Structures are given as structure tokens and as C-alpha cells.
Amino acid sequence: MNDQDTATGGNFIRQIIDEDIAAGKNDGRVVTRFPPEPNGYLHIGHAKSICLNFGIAVDYHGSCNLRFDDTNPHKENIEYIEAIKADVRWLGFDWDGLFFASDYFEQLYEFAVGLINEGKAYVCDLTAEQIREYRGTLTEPGRESPYRNRSVEENLDLFQRMRAGEFKDGERVLRAKIDMASPNINMRDPALYRIRHGVIHHQTGAEWCIYPMYDYTHPISDALEGITHSVCTLEFADHRPLYDWTLDNIPAPCHPQQIEFSRLNLEYTVMSKRKLTELVSEGHVEGWDDPRMPTIAGMRRRGYTPASIRDFCGRIGVSKSENTVEMGVLENCIREDLNANAPRRMAVLHPLKVVVKDYSPNRVEHLEVTNHPQNESMGTRVLPFTNELYIDRADFMEDPPRGFKRLVPGGEVRLRNAYVIRCDEVIRDAHGEIIELHCSHDAATLGANPEGRKVKGVIHWVSARFGVTAEIRLYDRLFSHPAPDAAGKEGNDYKEYLNPDSLRTLTGCIVEPELEHADPGDRLQFEREGYFCIDSRHSSKQALIFNRTVTLRDSWAKIEQAQKSR
């Protein structure tokens, strides 16, 4: 990938790196990492962090590690690890080193013993609740634990016995001895280790029954990997003093610089892994890769391209100010990509039969049509034209409003890439329902304008004989409220704002025969309908299923405009 492709642009983090390089810091090396917790699938917010960290490594000819922060084994599993690796690769990045925080468990333990030896850590017997009480508040200092002044020998003995499994969960913790009066609550003797029996860790199995805390593990993992710039989200700014304290008080091989940026928030969705897990486990969506999920796996199945996601991450930029990005920004990125790159096809979503009475039932014309109106290099395909066709029900109206340019009784319309037809007769069933249109065609209008009159409307169609039946899933936004999280804060559950129309399934759609050969991964424009892809999970050659990636135009913009002016 070259510099232009990484889509992170200039930003304050790159400025810091430029200055560091100019000052000769870290001998000019740039090493970053992306540190996911394997407790869920990656989402579009993670993509921002991935583009930033891997993008920096690419552009500065440095390196970027993928490191699993696996200190909470009861919430983690191998499925997540594999999914995260696949998603990072799919986004177009590759890691230099692949690590697990658990690779460092032994070293982390040794460093903790070192802290105890120097009187900088102690084993505390207070319960979790007592520790909370003793911690104080933002306005009141904390109180010192009665166990704070244990001797080094006693602490070493107890810590060793914690590791040996002599104590129950929650009975003891190892704490840093820093400052119970610190204005920063994170510095009030934070826990470094806790006891957790009975979990089989996906990497270390049953070897450990004590696990290091994130705030202790993270800086040390960074230092052991020689990370130069440890980029994280803003909520860790208050933890930075503890990050630095940890590295200042162990024999760390280096001292990475923690730099915080604001996380991505996106309208009409939620991004917390707790909530995404809930949506999956409670069955509100089909799984982590449901095409409505803001996960990378969901977006891939929806039809998003890696390039469109990188483009999005570039456009939103990197800063320290909290903001929420409009969903339209993301949708426009994929729309632009697919407008340029998706081959055009015809698909009839709500079929209405048309019989061209003056076209021989035995005749088949193989019309050669272009795959893309602006890009000849995308080639052509063959469309069979026959006397029986399907058009979309919405393209015919008996009592049209003014300005309706499509088919009406007695009126003409152009069939895209084919003839101009006229509707001569409307056929109904016993209930009065329109079941067929009888039409005639102007044989002189193939690739030519009709003589002496203008036909304005152009509609899409598919041959009834050669068309293929398909299911089409019209996906829309998962939530109908732009800020389901914030709405949830008003005492409602964010799930009350799930959009009941986020999925409409159409069966019996008719698509052009070429689409029988579509592969998962192909992305297509169905003319006049939107952008679609094969559903990679459920579609088969025998039963085609297409997912709508995005509509041709932003239909939400109007709705939002109306909501705002209300």
C-alpha cells in the first residue's frame, strides 16, 4: 500500500511524530500497535484506530503490531481472535508482530515482585466494596488501606501464595502504593493483580489464577515491544499518569509516549461492545456479521469495500474533540466507490408481467450492453430480450400524478438498453388486481430515438423466460434514532430505538441471467434501485440472495431535514 492509500492524512499525532523524528527521539524509529481485547468483533470505530496505527507505520516506514489485550479471559475467546485477524487483513493491513499480553504474564509477575521489593506495591485484604469506599471521591481524598504498610517479606509471601492459588477470588489483590490523596483517582493505589480461579485462558490455559490489570499490563506490553507512540482513545487520558508511573518504577527497556485521540461515534448505531454483544446474544440481529451491524464483518457482508472504509477513516480525521459523525458520511463513501466501480445490472424487485404482443414468442434477441456507462474497460454483457418481460410494479400507474414519466395506459416508455414500448391494455384478475400489461414495441427504437416524438422515461426490465428468481434483502439503518445511546440515557433502553424496518425481505424478485454467475464479493448496481451484493452467508447458486448495501441516493437526508426543522 502506498502513502496515498492509507487515508489518515495529516493530524496532530503525525505532527508529534514529525517533531520526535526531527528531534532524534527513539533514533527516528516509529513503532505503533493496535491492541484489541478479544471480547467481540471489530467495529467501524476500531477501523479508525487501525487506519491510524497501521497507516502511521506504513507512512513512516515503521512497524505496527497486532496485540491482543487478553487480561480478561472470562469474556474472551478464540473465535474473536480469528475474526479480528481476518478483519484487520481484510481492511488491507498486515501486522509486523502478532502478540498477546499473556505472552508477558511471567515478566509482568517479575516486575510486580520488583515493585513489592521496592516497597511500591502491597497485597491488600480489603474487599472490592471496601476498596471502593476507601478510594474517596472526586472531591474527597481516599483513605489508606490498613494493609498498606505490610512488610516487603509479608507482601512477597502473600503475592507468591496468591499465584499458588491459596486464596479465593476477591480475597486479596496486589495494589500499587502511590498516593491515596491524589486528585487523580486512578493514582489512589490502583489494583495491579486480581485472583480469578476456574477460567481456562485461551492462551495460557489453567496456568494462572491471578491476572494483571489492564492499566498495569498495557504500558509494560508497549515497552517490551519497543512501541514508540502508544495511541489510544481519550478516556485513557486520566490513566496516563499511571501508565507513566508504571514504566518509571520498573526496569522498562523504553518509555513509550501515550497519545490520546477522540473515539469515533456514528449516528444511528451503537458502538460499545457490551451493547453489540447484547444485540447478538438477544437475537435482535442475526449475528456479529449481520449486515446491519457496525462491525467490520457486518459491513463486509453488507457490501462495503475495504477502500470505502479507509476512505471514511481518512475523511473523518483524527483530533481530540468529541463528536458524532453523520451516517450519511459513511454511506457516501461506499456510494462513491460503487458508483465508480460496480458493474450495472438489472433486477426487478416487485415484478409485473409485460407481454409484448407484436414480438414473436419464439424470438430471442441477444442485446450486447455495457457494464458501466462511464467506464468502457468494464466491458459488456448479453441481455436476452423476449416477448414476455418483467418490469417493476412501481414503474406503471393507471392514474399517474403529474410529472410521472414511466409507463401509463396508452403511454410509452423506453426499456433500458432495448425498445420503446407502449401500454395497450391492462389485464386484471378476478379481484381487480393488475396482473399483466399488454404492450407493443417500436421496432425502430433499438439504440435509436423514436421518430417524431419524445419518450422521456426509461425503466429497467428482465426477460421472463431467462430471468432468474432471487431473494433481495433491503437493509436499512439499525436504529431509527440518530443517538440511540443518548436517548437511552433519558431512562429508555437504546433497544427501544431499533428500526423496525431495518430489514425488508423481498422474495420472488427477478434478476437478469448474468447474475446467476455472481460471486460473493461481487458488488453490483441494480439500475435505479441501489447497490447490492451476494449474501455471503446464505446465498447459493440454487437460491440467490442479494443484500442491499446502500440506496442510490441519501433517502435519510430529507427525513433528517424534516426532523430538524420540526
Question: Which whole-number Å values give the CA distances from 318 to 48, 49, 51, 259, 484, in the listed order?
Answer: 9, 9, 10, 12, 24
Interacting residues with ligand ATP (CB under 6 A):
35-37, 45-46, 48-49, 232-233, 263-264, 271-274
Q: Which three cell numbers stand for residue 315?
A: 475523511
Q: How far is the CB of 274 from ligand ATP (least distance, A)?
A: 6
* Residue nearest ligand ATP (C-beta atom): 45
- In the complex with ligand ATP, which residue's Cβ is closer, 46 or 477? 46
Q: How far is the CB of 271 from ligand ATP (least distance, A)?
A: 5
Tell me the C-alpha distance between 501 and 292, whole Å: 11
Question: Which whole-number Å values give the CA distances from 222 to 113, 326, 333, in the listed order?
Answer: 19, 34, 34
Q: How far is the CB of 134 from ligand ATP (least distance, A)?
A: 26
Tell me the C-alpha distance between 231 and 183, whole Å: 24
Question: Which residue's C-alpha cell is 494462572?
Answer: 208
- In the complex with ligand ATP, which residue's Cβ is closer, 274 or 357? 274
Query: What string of DSSP letters covers 112-171?
Result: HHHHHHTTSEEEE---HHHHHHHH--SSS-----TTTT--HHHHHHHHHHHHHT-S-TTT
Question: Which whole-number Å values give the CA distances from 268 to 142, 160, 262, 477, 486, in the listed order?
Answer: 40, 50, 19, 7, 11
Tell me the C-alpha distance between 309 and 334, whole Å: 8
- In the complex with ligand ATP, which residue's Cβ is closer, 325 or 468? 325
Q: How far is the CB of 410 from ligand ATP (least distance, A)?
A: 57
Number of other residues whose CB lies within 10 A of the CB of residue 475: 21
| Closest listed residue to residue 156, CA positions, set 126, 119, 190, 188 | 119
Q: What is the dihedral of CA 325, 327, 332, 334, to 10 degrees?
A: 110
- In the complex with ligand ATP, which residue's Cβ is closer, 41 or 122? 41
Is 374 in contact with 441 (CB distance < 8 Å)?
Answer: no
Tell me the C-alpha distance between 288 and 302, whole Å: 12
Q: How far is the CB of 357 from ligand ATP (least distance, A)?
A: 59
| Closest listed residue to residue 192, CA positions, set 121, 264, 114 | 121
* Strand (E) or helix (H) holding 66: strand 63-68
Q: Is 37 a catalytic residue?
A: yes
Q: How far is the CB of 183 from ligand ATP (least distance, A)?
A: 24
Q: How far is the CB of 232 from ligand ATP (least distance, A)?
A: 5
- In the complex with ligand ATP, which residue's Cβ is closer, 218 or 473? 218
Q: Is 353 a catalytic residue?
A: no
- In the complex with ligand ATP, which residue's Cβ is closer, 89 or 168? 89
- Kindly give, in sequence order, each residue whose CB lies less than 8 Å from that of residue 334, ignoring residues fewer than 6 positions away: 303, 304, 305, 308, 531, 549, 550
Q: How far is the CB of 54 from ligand ATP (least distance, A)?
A: 12
- Check residue 233 and report its DSSP letter: E
Catalytic residue among 37, 144, 286, 560: 37
Measured over the CA atoms of residue 22, residue 23, residue 28 and residue 32, the dihedral's sign is: negative
- In the complex with ligand ATP, which residue's Cβ is closer, 28 or 241? 241
Tell me the C-alpha distance between 86 and 75, whole Å: 20
- In the complex with ligand ATP, which residue's Cβ is closer, 259 or 459? 259
| Closest listed residue to residue 126, CA positions, set 189, 210, 42 | 189
Q: Which three cell numbers stand for residue 193?
A: 493483580
Q: What is the dihedral of CA 560, 562, 564, 566, to 10 degrees?
A: -150
Q: Is 263 a catalytic residue?
A: yes
Q: How far is the CB of 228 from ligand ATP (least distance, A)?
A: 16
- In the complex with ligand ATP, which residue's Cβ is closer, 233 or 339? 233
Question: Which whole-number Å values give the CA distances from 517 to 300, 340, 557, in the listed order?
Answer: 20, 21, 35
Catalytic residue among 75, 143, 148, 263: 263
Q: Which residues are catalytic?
A: 37, 263, 273
